[in-house]
Structure 1
C-alpha cells in the first residue's frame, strides 16, 4: 500500500513540475500581442490613425516595433516568421508562422510628385499660383515653403490642416519670370517632418500693365504683416489686383483679360478678404458681387436686378452684403435720375434684396455747397463712396464725396453728420438736418464756436473737418477713422494735403473731437484728391494710410502705401506705386495673408 502511495506522489509531483514549467513558459506579459490576428488588426488601426513604425528590434523573445509617436508595439517574437520593411512603399510586411501576412505602416523614404500633378496657374487667371495634387501611401499632413528671394523674411510658408492620404496644396506667393523653389514636407500628425522634397516651378514674366514698385522704408519687425493686397487700377480696364511683399516684389496677381465674364472687371474700391478666407468685390461692368478664391476662380456671384453697383460692398457679421448702389428708377425732386445714393442689403444665401436705404429720404438732396451738379442729366448729389457696418448699434457709417460723413440707422434715420455746418436743409420727411450736425470740441473739450471754423472756411489748431472723404471705419467704440482727401479744403485749392484722421464722437451729446491725424505734414507728397484708403492694424497698433491717385512719386505719379505707428507717428513701411503712364494707381490696399 505504501508503494502505491509513493508512486502516486511521484506522478503528481512530476505532473505539477511539468505543469509549472509549461505555465512559466507561456506567461502573458502586459501589452504584448500573442496572435497574428490581433497584430494585423493593430496594424490597420495604426494605418487609420496615421502613425508609422520607424524602427524595430528583438529583446527577450519580444519583437519591439517603435512608433513615431514614441510608443512601442510589442509582438511575441515566437509568432513572427519574417519582418521586411519596404520604405519605398511606406509599409512593412510581417509574415507570421501561422501563414498569415500583415502589412504595417512604416516610415518611407520616397516622396513621389509626378509632373502632371503640378499645375502652375491652374485656373488660367492666377499666374503666380500653383496647385499640387499628392496621394501618399500613409496618412499625414503637408507643409510647404515658397523660398523667397530675400531670405527667410520673404518666404511664404503654410501647413494645411488636412490630415489624410490625399492632398491638394494651393501654392501662392510665387515670383514672376522666376524658377521658384517650393519645398514640400510630409509631416506626421504632430507636425514632425517625415520627408522633404524641393520642386522648381517656372513662371512667365509679369505683364507690362503692372506698376513700378519702389520701397523706401521697411522696418519689418514693426510692421503688421508682410503682404499687402493692392486694388490696382492703373492703365484701365480690366483692373489687375496684386499682392506685394515688403521688398516690393509682386507675389500674386489676377489677370482676367481672357475671362468670359470678368474680362472688363472694374471693382471700384477694390477687392477685400471675406471671413471665410476667400476674396470678394463688386463689379461695375457686370453690376454684381463676386466671391473668388486666390486662384481667381469664381465661386459664387450675386446679381441685383433693378440696381447697379458703384464703389463699395462690405460683408456684415451675419454674412450678408451691404452694397453701395444706384437704383434705375431713383429720381431727384427735380425729376431727374439720381445715382450713387442707394444702399441695399443682399441675403448671402438666397441672393435676394432684404433691405434698401434710399439716402434721399434721410439727407438733403438739394445741398450743393461742395458740388453743384443738380442740372446734370443724372444727378450725383451724394456720391456715396464708402460703407462701414457698426455692429454695436446695427447702423451704417458712410462717406459721401459731395456731402461728408454720416451715420444712419437700420430704418434709415440719420444719427449724425460729420461735415461743415453750411447750407444744410431738410430731408424728405421734413427733419431739419442742422439738428444732426456734430459740434466740434478742442483738446480741452471746450466747444469750438468760431463760425468760420464751424462752416469750414478755416481750421482750428485742434480740429479740421473731413473734405470729400473715403474709407470710414470704427477703430474702437466711439472712435471713428476716415481718409480725409482734402479736395477743395476750406472751399479752396491753396493748401493740398490728405490725412488719416481719427475722431471721438459722443453720439449722446452730439460732439466730435479730433484725437489723431497723419498726412498733413506730408503735404503734396501724400495728397490724393480722390479714391484712397485708411485702415487700423491692431496687431502692431499701426495705421495703413493709402493715398491712391495722382500722388507725386518723385517725377512719377500714382499712389503710396504707408504704414505708420499710431503711438509714435513713425513710418514703418512706405512704398511708391507708379503705373507706366497716367495718374491712376489704386483705390484701396489691405494687409492680407494667403492662408
Structure 2
C-alpha cells in the first residue's frame, strides 16, 4: 500500500511540475528518495498555506549557493519576475523560493545555483541551470451567496508602463461591503467601539500588465466567530527587511512574501480595533492606528473609543508611546461632520442616505449612541484617523483625520505643531496652529466662508484648496528640507467647502502635494491631479497618494472611483472603476495608468512592493 501511495504522489507531482533536466534517480528503499523533479528536491506549492502562487524547490539535502530565480512572463509582452536569493534565504526556506507565479497557468521558471555535494575528502561543487514548468492554481475568492460575483476586478492598462516603472508590483487591498457572516460579535460594557466593522478582505498583487502574480488566502485569517480573526485586513506596509505587515481588528501581523509567519500578535490590552494604517518607522518601531479599550470620559462614562488613538510599539510588541487624540484635539468640533455625505462614511455605505447630512440636533451628546457612528465626543467616530506617518525630522507624527478634514502634525510631547485644513470651527486654543495658504510667491491666499472656500474649491477654477475627508497624509523626506516639509495626500473631496454641492456631478477628488513652511506657518499647494477627471475619477472614500523614491514618481490609487453617485451605484447603472496611476514627479504625465473593471468589491489601497528586497 505504501508503494502504491508513493507512486500516486510522484505521478501527481509530475503532472503539475515539469523540468527540462533529467529526473534524479533513487533506489526503491532507503533515505535517498526525495521525489525530486530536477537536480535537487521536490517542488512544494504554497509551502506555508497562505500564498497559493508561491512554491519552494526543496534543496534535496544539498548546500545551495548563489541562487537566482526568473519566473518568465506570459506571452510576448509578459513581464519577467527575476530576483537573487541569498544563501541564508535558501536556508530559511529549505530550498529555492519561487515567487510571482501566474494563476491557473503553467509557468516557466528558470533557476540557476551552485550545488555543493559532500563527497569523501571534500565538497563537489556544480553550477546548474534548470527550467521548471510549474502549474499554479486559479485565484479563489469568497462567495457572497447572491447573484453578484465576488471576483477580483480585471486590471486594464490604459497607459502602458514606462521603462522607469515597468517592473513594479502593486499589492491591491480591497474589501467587501457588508457580508452575511459579518458582525457576529459587537462591543459592549463599556459601550462603543468599531468591531462591527468586519468585512471580507481581498489581497493580491498585479504587475504593470495588470496580471495577477500573488494572492493572500484570507480564508486562513478570518473567522467571524473568533475574536482574534475578526476585522478587515488593512494597513499593509512593506518593512525594511522586505516583509509585509498589516493589522486585522484585534491583531497585527508580519509575514514574508512566501507566506511564512513571522508573528501574529494581539494588540496590547489597552487598545482595540485596529484598522486603516500600520507602518514601520525609520527607527524600526511600529505605529498603529487603534482605539482605547476603556476610556473614562469627563462626564464619568466609560466607553470604547473609535479610531482616535495612535500607539507606538517596539519589535517585541512592547508599548513605547501613545497619542490619545481626544485629549490632544477637540473631539467636539462638528463643522465637517455636519457637512459630510452620510451615504458614504468611509466603509459605512448606505445609498438611502446619499446626499444627506446630519443636523446639529443629531449630534447632541446625550442623544446619540456610542460606537461607530459619525458624531462628536470620545466613544463616537469624531476623528476617523485613516493614516499616521512618522516624520524623522523632528520625531513627530502626521495624521489624516477624515472627519475633521484636517492633516495634523503632533509632536512627541503631544502638542499640536500645525493643522492643514479649513480654520472654520476650531476653538481659540488651536488658532495659532492653523496654516495660512500662500501662492508660489509667498502671497497670502484669501479663502471665503470662514476660510473653507478657497479659490480652488470649485471644479471649474484652479488654485489652492484644502483637502476634504482625505486619506493618507505622508511626509516626503526626500523632497523636504529643514522647516519646509513636503506632504502628499488623497483629497477625497466630500464636504468640500464645508457643504454638499448642488449636483452630484460637481464632486471630484484630487491627489495633492503641499509644502508646509513650519517656520512661517504657511502652506503652499504645488501639485494636484484629478480635478480635471471629474465625477468619473471621484472616490468618496479610501484611496492613497504616495511618493515613490526609487522611481521618483507619485503613486495614486483612486480606489472607489465609480461610487460617486451612490444612487446609481446601488441601482447597478454605475460600476466601481478604480484607477491606479504613477506620475513622473511634479507633472501630470502618467508613467502608468491602470483601470480596474468588472469587480464589485470596494478598493481600499494599493502599495508598491519591492520583491527583490524580500529575498536578499
TM-score of the pair, normalised by structure 1: 0.74
Superposed displacement of residue 566, structure 1: 2.2
2:312 & 2:577 partners in 1: Cα distance? 33
Whether 1:354 and 2:373 are equivalent positions in the alignment is no
Pick from 515, 521, 526 the counterpart of residue 504 of structure 1.
Answer: 515
Structure 2 equivalent of residue 203 of structure 1: 136
Structure 1 equivalent of residue 608 of structure 2: 590
Contact 2:254 2:261 in 1 (8 A): yes
Pick from 241, 253, 257 the counterpart of residue 215 of structure 2.
Answer: 253
The alignment yields a C-alpha RMSD, in angstroms, of 3.0
Query: What aligned pairs does 1:220-235 form with structure 2 within 5 A after superposition?
Result: 220-223=162-165, 225-234=167-176
Superposed displacement of residue 155, structure 1: 0.9
Structure 2 equivalent of residue 183 of structure 1: 110
Structure 2 equivalent of residue 339 of structure 1: 306
Pick from 525, 544, 552 the counterpart of residue 514 of structure 1.
Answer: 525
Q: Which moved more, 1:375-384 or 1:240-249?
A: 375-384
Change (3 A) 1:515 1:164: closer
Structure 2 equivalent of residue 492 of structure 1: 500
Structure 2 equivalent of residue 313 of structure 1: 278
Deviation digits for residues 71-120 of structure 1 (CA, Å, limit 9, x no counterpart) = xxxxxxxxxxxxxxxxx99xxxxxxxxxxxxxxxxxxxxx9737962111
Give the number of equivalent residue pairs: 477
Structure 2 equivalent of residue 291 of structure 1: 254
Whether 1:412 and 2:414 are equivalent positions in the alignment is yes
Deviation digits for residues 33-83 of structure 1 (CA, Å, limit 9, x no counterpart) = xxxxxxxxxxxxxxxxxxxxxxxxxxxxxxxxxxxxxxxxxxxxxxxxxxx
2:416 & 2:319 partners in 1: Cα distance? 22
Contact 1:440 1:448 in 2 (8 A): yes
Bigger CA radius of gyration:
1
Between the two structures, name the one with larger relative contact order (CA 8 Å, sep ≥ 6): 2
Whether 1:212 and 2:231 are equivalent positions in the alignment is no
Structure 2 equivalent of residue 576 of structure 1: 595
Change (3 A) 1:479 1:141: same
1:138 & 1:485 partners in 2: Cα distance? 53
Change (3 A) 1:211 1:266: farther
Superposed displacement of residue 137, structure 1: 6.0
Change (3 A) 1:163 1:501: closer
Structure 2 equivalent of residue 244 of structure 1: 206
Superposed displacement of residue 156, structure 1: 1.1
Deviation digits for residues 484-518 of structure 1 (CA, Å, limit 9, x no counterpart) = 11112112234211111111111111111111111
Superposed displacement of residue 186, structure 1: 2.5
Superposed displacement of residue 577, structure 1: 2.1
Query: What aligned pairs does 1:86-235 form with structure 2 within 5 A after superposition?
Result: 113=38, 117-135=42-60, 140-151=65-76, 154-162=79-87, 168-187=95-114, 194-208=127-141, 209-223=151-165, 225-234=167-176
Pick from 365, 371, 377 the counterpart of residue 370 of structure 2.
Answer: 377
Query: What aligned pairs does 1:481-560 form with structure 2 within 5 A after superposition?
Result: 481-490=488-497, 491-493=499-501, 494=503, 495-551=506-562, 556-560=575-579
Superposed displacement of residue 270, structure 1: 3.1
Superposed displacement of residue 457, structure 1: 6.6
Structure 2 equivalent of residue 480 of structure 1: 487
SS at match of 1:402: helix
Q: Which moved more, 1:375-384 or 1:454-463?
A: 454-463
1:522 & 1:225 partners in 2: Cα distance? 27
Query: What aligned pairs does 1:430-445 form with structure 2 within 5 A after superposition?
Result: 432-445=429-442
1:421 & 1:264 partners in 2: Cα distance? 41
1:131 & 1:391 partners in 2: Cα distance? 38
Whether 1:465 and 2:466 are equivalent positions in the alignment is yes
Change (3 A) 1:274 1:239: same
Superposed displacement of residue 226, structure 1: 2.4
Structure 2 equivalent of residue 76 of structure 1: none
2:51 & 2:76 partners in 1: Cα distance? 24
Greater strand content: 1
Contact 2:168 2:608 in 1 (8 A): no
* Residue ranges of structure 2 left out of the alignment (5+ in a row): 1-22, 25-35, 117-124, 142-150, 180-198, 339-362, 372-379, 565-572
Superposed displacement of residue 552, structure 1: 6.2
Deviation digits for residues 512-538 of structure 1 (CA, Å, limit 9, x no counterpart) = 111111111111122111111111122
SS at match of 1:326: strand
Change (3 A) 1:311 1:509: same
Superposed displacement of residue 541, structure 1: 2.3
Change (3 A) 1:502 1:187: same
Whether 1:329 and 2:254 are equivalent positions in the alignment is no
SS at match of 2:129: strand
Superposed displacement of residue 274, structure 1: 1.0
